[in-house]
Amino acid sequence: MQKSIIASFLAIAALAPAAAFASDGTITINGTVTAQTCTINGGSPNLAVTLPTVSTSALASAGQTAAPTPFTIALTACNPNSGNVRAFFETGSNVLATRRLKNNGTATNLEIGLLNTDNTPIAIGAASGAQGTSSVAISSGSANLTYMAQYVATGTVGAGTVTTSVTYSIEFP
């Protein structure tokens, strides 16, 4: 019985068509690595932005914003020493679908938004070029990238602490 089962499997295997592979095309991948870089003035790339204390009444309903607070990423020794530069705010565990930052503190119904200095919102975590971050001209190898952080209510805000963070990179658009 076992011999007939084995013989049957061998016969079926012999009749099964062999897989055929053919070369149909080529994919060519190109890229560029540049030496473009800048030094963060002050040495550390980490910044701390302290938003002012606000009352929950200033953020009583969804969509209300409060306390836009400027911060500056000062760049020196940029290579090349002219052209444009901007920040790219990367996606991460604190970036929400709203393109704002999640509050990891105890205040409720609250997110943190980033803005350009003209008050246009920055879409944190969006693709390069789609975030809406303002570019700044590099002058004599230096540039100041100024943006703002602000409270954004997603409902009636409950009192508490606010803390969040976002990773950024420097782009040369």
pLDDT digits (tens, 9 = 90+) for 9-63: 555 555 555 555 556 776 777 776 766 688 887 767 888 899 999 999 999 999 9
Which pTM was predicted?
0.78
Give exposure, 55-78, as e/b (b: 16+ Cβ within 10 Å). ebeebeeeeebbebeeeebebeeb
What pLDDT, in 10s, does the model give residues 54-91?
Answer: 999 999 999 999 999 999 999 998 887 889 999 999 99
Distance CA 141, CA 4 (A): 82
Instruction: Give me 109's structure tokens.
Output: 């119904």
- Provide φ and ψ at 65, rounded to 5°: -125, 160
Superfamily of domain 34-171: Fimbrial-type adhesion domain (2.60.40.1090)
User: How buried is 15 (Cβ within 10 angstroms: 0-12 exposed, 13-18 middle, 19+ buried)?
Assistant: exposed
